[in-house]
């Protein structure tokens, strides 16, 4: 347990990247979203109208702006922190578990940040001017019980996937991430080929808990993708 805590503390040394950079990204998305809303307002759209609300809630900027950063942070957690952890006496198992604990803490942090901002948005009548920035479909459309699992599992999955790419690079060099990306692309395409004939039925019976199960499954696979390569990886 002490070794796992030590790994978490080692990850926490990157406080600026872990705590401040996500806030900066969120702030940039807020500014861009407001500017886009003002652009449509000047073009004749009316805040509060059905068209305004539907189009504003379709904003996916928050997802795509954070996704790339989180994956890169996951890569760094394995590729750059692993050698330091082993040099300080951590085992490979402790590093993997410590990285999982770190990912959970980071996911909880961002969940709290986005939940608080969404509640502020609702409390202020969407920032007093009808700007929908956090009350959007991708974050649960203003439903806190949806936002919490969506953000938590999404952040955890993205960090874990990034860690798997980083671990494969440590073990196999540049070929590792290339093979993972190729295999993932093939599996996705094969899955779509299988699912497409019954897509209409799946959409009709779709339930959000499917995504939660998929997220947990992805985290488990990704953490295995960290542990297995690092078991035999040499320290560089």
Residue with tokens 């998929």: 214
pLDDT of res. 235: 64
pLDDT of res. 202: 57
Main-chain phi, psi angles of 2, to 5 degrees? -60, -40
What is the enclosing helix (H) or strand (E) of 58? none
Q: What is the rounded CA–CA span in Å between residue 163 and residue 111?
A: 20
- Both structure tokens of 38: 């003002």
- Of 73, 75, 86, residue with least CA distance to 17: 73
Q: What is the rounded CA–CA span in Å between residue 81 and residue 45?
A: 49
Q: What is the rounded CA–CA span in Å between residue 78 and residue 225?
A: 11
pLDDT of res. 121: 92
| Tens digit of each residue's pLDDT, the chain (236 residues) | 677 888 888 888 888 888 899 999 999 999 998 898 888 887 777 777 888 888 888 888 888 888 889 999 999 888 888 888 887 777 888 888 999 999 999 999 999 999 999 999 999 988 888 888 898 888 888 889 999 999 999 999 999 999 998 888 888 777 777 887 888 788 778 777 776 766 666 566 666 776 788 888 888 998 888 888 888 767 66
- Of 122, 222, 114, residue with least CA distance to 177: 222
pTM: 0.87
- Both structure tokens of 68: 């790339």
Q: Which phi-psi region, left, alpha or beta, contains residue 74 (left: φ > 0; alpha: ψ -120 to 50)?
A: alpha
């Amino acid at each position: 347990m002490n070794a796992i805590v030590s790994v978490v503390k080692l990850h926490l040394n990157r406080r600026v990247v872990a705590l401040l950079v996500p806030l900066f990204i969120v702030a940039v998305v807020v500014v861009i979203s407001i500017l886009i809303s003002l652009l449509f307002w000047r073009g004749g759209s009316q805040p509060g109208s059905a068209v305004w609300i539907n189009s504003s809630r379709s904003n996916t900027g928050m997802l795509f702006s954070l996704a790339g950063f989180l994956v890169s942070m996951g890569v760094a957690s394995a590729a750059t922190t692993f050698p330091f952890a082993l040099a300080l006496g951590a085992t490979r198992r402790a590093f993997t578990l410590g990285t999982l604990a770190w990912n959970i803490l980071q996911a909880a942090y961002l969940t709290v940040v986005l939940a608080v901002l969404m509640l502020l948005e609702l409390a202020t009548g969407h920032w007093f001017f009808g700007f929908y920035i956090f009350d959007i479909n991708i974050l649960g459309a203003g439903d806190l019980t949806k936002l919490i699992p969506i953000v938590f599992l999404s952040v955890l999955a993205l960090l874990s996937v990034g860690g798997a790419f980083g671990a494969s690079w440590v073990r196999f060099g540049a070929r590792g991430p290339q093979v993972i990306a190729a295999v993932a692309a093939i599996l996705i395409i094969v899955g779509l080929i299988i699912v497409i004939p019954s897509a209409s039925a799946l959409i009709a019976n779709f339930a959000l808990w499917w995504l939660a199960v998929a997220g947990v499954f992805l985290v488990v696979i990704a953490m295995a993708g960290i542990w297995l390569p690092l078991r035999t990886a040499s320290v560089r």
